[in-house]
C-alpha cells in the first residue's frame, strides 16, 4: 500500500446551525479570524461550508449558500496561500468557488450531480471528494438499514461512482473517497466502516475521514451524555486508527490537536527519529 502524507482539513462552517460550531463563525470577520487560527495551527486544507448537513438540518437556498460561502472564500484567498475546499452539493456554488480559488469540492451527495464531470474536465487542478450518504440530513438517522452490510454497500456505491467519473476521463487521483461516518449510519455502522476502512484504499485517490465531534463518540461512553467538546479524545482515537488503515485526509474542528497527534504517531512509526 502506498503511504500518503497525512493532510489535516480544517472545518470552517459559515452557518448558524452546524452541530458543533453553528453561529460561531457566521460573520465574515469571525470566519476570517478562525481561518487565521487554523493556519497558525498548521492546517493543510480549509473546508468552507455554508449549509449544515447535521442530522435533522433543513436545506438552504442556492442564493443563501452563495452569500455565506463565496465572500469568505474570496477573503481567505486574498489573505492566505492555503488550499481551499468548498463543502457543497450545489454545482453553482462550486463553480463560483473555483473561480475564487477553491481547488477541492467536498460533496456529501457523492457525485450525484453529473455536472461535476464537466466542472472537473474544465478545471484540471480541482479534486472531488465523493462521500457516501444514505438519505437526506432531515431523516438520514431514522433507523438506517444496510441489507448487504454497511461496508459492502458503501464500497459498492463509491466504486460505481468512481467508475462513472473514470469513464468520463477523470483520473483516479483526483477522486477522493469518504465513507460518510454519521451520514445515514448508526453506531455499529460507523464502527464497522472504521474497522474495514482499508477496503476503500486504492479504489481511487485519497481516503478522507471525518469523525470530528460526532455523536457516536459520546454513545461509546458510559453515560453517553458528554458535551461536544468532550468528544475530542474520541476524534483523535478514531482518526489515528483511520490513519493506520490508510486514510490520509482528516477533517477536524481542532486542527492543532490533530496535527500534534499525527506528529507523535509518525515519530513512533519512524525508527530513525
pLDDT of residue 26: 57
Task: Tell me the three cell numbers of residue 211.
Answer: 469523525
Query: Strand 104-107 to strand 127-131: parallel, antiparallel, or no bridges (unpaired)?
Result: parallel
The Cβ of residue 188 has, within 10 Å, a number of other Cβ atoms equal to: 10
pLDDT of 270 strictly over 60: yes
Q: How does pLDDT run across 110-133, given as a tens digit for each residue?
A: 999 999 999 999 999 999 999 999
Task: Tell me the three cell numbers of residue 36.
Answer: 487565521
| Per-residue pLDDT band at 22 (split at 50, 70, 90) | very low
Is 226 catalytic? The answer is no
Which candidate, 161, 237, 149, places its Cα nearest to that of 185? 149
Q: Domain ranges for the chain, please list them.
A: 7-269
Once rounded to an integer, what is the mean pLDDT over residues 234-246?
Answer: 96
C-beta separation of 85 from 48 below 8 A: yes
Q: How does pLDDT run across 156-209, given as a tens digit for each residue?
A: 999 999 999 999 999 999 999 999 999 999 999 999 999 999 999 999 999 999
Is 90 catalytic? The answer is no
Superfamily of structural domain 7-269: Dihydropteroate synthase-like (3.20.20.20)
C-beta separation of 66 from 92 below 8 A: yes
pLDDT of residue 225: 62
- Report the C-alpha gap between 240 and 243 in whole angstroms: 5
Alpha-carbon separation of residue 43 from 13, 40, 212 (angstroms): 15, 7, 15
Residue 222: its H or E element: none
Q: How are strands ordered across the β-sheet holding 104-107?
A: 175-178, 127-131, 104-107, 83-87, 45-49, 7-13, 249-252, 208-209
Paired with 83 in beta bridges are 45
pLDDT of residue 4: 78
pLDDT of 265 strictly over 80: yes
Q: Of the listed 90, 214, 231, 259, which one is catalytic?
A: 214
Once rounded to an integer, what is the mean pLDDT over residues 140-163?
Answer: 91
Q: Name the DSSP class of 179.
A: -
Amino acid at each position: 500500500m502506498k503511504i500518503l502524507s497525512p493532510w489535516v482539513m480544517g472545518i470552517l462552517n459559515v452557518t448558524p446551525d452546524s452541530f458543533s460550531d453553528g453561529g460561531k463563525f457566521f460573520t465574515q470577520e469571525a470566519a476570517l479570524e478562525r481561518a487565521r487560527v487554523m493556519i497558525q495551527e498548521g492546517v493543510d486544507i480549509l473546508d468552507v461550508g455554508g449549509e449544515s448537513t447535521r442530522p435533522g438540518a433543513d436545506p438552504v437556498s442556492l442564493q443563501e449558500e452563495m452569500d455565506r460561502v463565496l465572500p469568505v472564500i474570496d477573503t481567505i484567498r486574498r489573505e492566505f496561500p492555503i488550499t481551499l475546499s468548498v463543502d457543497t452539493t450545489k454545482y453553482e456554488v462550486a463553480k463560483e468557488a473555483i473561480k475564487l480559488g477553491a481547488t477541492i469540492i467536498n460533496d456529501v451527495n457523492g457525485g450525484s450531480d453529473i455536472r461535476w464531470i464537466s466542472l472537473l474536465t474544465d478545471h484540471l487542478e480541482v479534486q472531488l471528494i465523493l462521500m457516501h450518504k444514505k438519505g437526506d440530513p432531515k431523516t438520514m438517522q431514522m433507523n438506517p438499514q444496510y441489507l448487504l452490510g454497511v461496508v459492502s454497500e458503501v464500497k459498492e456505491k463509491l466504486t460505481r461512482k468512481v467508475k462513472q467519473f473514470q469513464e468520463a476521463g477523470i483520473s483516479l487521483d483526483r477522486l477522493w473517497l469518504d465513507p460518510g461516518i454519521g451520514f445515514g449510519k448508526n453506531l455499529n455502522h460507523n464502527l464497522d466502516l472504521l474497522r474495514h476502512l482499508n477496503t476503500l484504499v486504492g479504489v481511487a485517490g485519497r481516503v478522507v475521514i471525518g469523525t470530528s465531534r460526532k455523536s457516536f463518540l459520546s454513545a461509546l461512553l458510559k453515560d453517553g451524555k458528554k458535551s461536544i467538546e468532550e468528544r475530542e479524545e474520541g476524534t483523535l482515537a478514531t482518526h489515528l486508527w483511520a490513519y493506520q488503515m490508510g486514510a490520509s485526509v482528516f477533517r477536524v474542528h481542532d486542527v492543532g490537536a490533530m496535527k500534534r497527534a499525527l506528529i507523535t504517531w509518525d515519530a513512533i512509526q519512524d525508527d530513525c527519529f
